[in-house]
Amino acid sequence: MYSIPGYHFISKLRPVGPRGGVGIFLCDTYEYKKRCDLESMNSVLESVFVEIVQPNNEKNVILGCLYKPPNVQTETFNDEIKQVHPKNVLS
């Protein structure tokens, strides 16, 4: 695991093997919730998401990190993203 003072490291690691996965460094002044319901980990898409809680009843912000392996076609990758969150429309 990586560490940078003043930051949280939120990650989704590959279930097998010593390497791989995706991660986000988020300043530790932010309150956040990990959004496991949006995550994906397969041969087409790796992703991790957090919801940053906003003060004063403002709308929260969802931040994500997505990885497309180099051998995956872009169209296949985009189709997989739509499966993770069907309301997401890519152009």
Phi first, then psi, for residue 9 (nearest 5°) are: -110, 115
Q: What is the pLDDT of residue 14?
A: 81
Per-residue tokens: 11: 């990650």
Which position has the higher pLDDT, 37 or 29? 29
Distance CA 18, CA 16 (A): 7
Distance CA 10, CA 74 (A): 26
pLDDT tens profile 43-73: 888 999 999 999 888 899 999 999 999 999 9
Residue 78 predicted with pLDDT over 60: yes
Q: What is the pLDDT of residue 87?
A: 56
- Per the rule left: phi > 0, alpha: psi between -120 and 50, beta: everything else, 57 is left
Residue 86 predicted with pLDDT over 90: no
H/E run at residue 64: strand 61-67
The whole-model pTM stands at 0.81
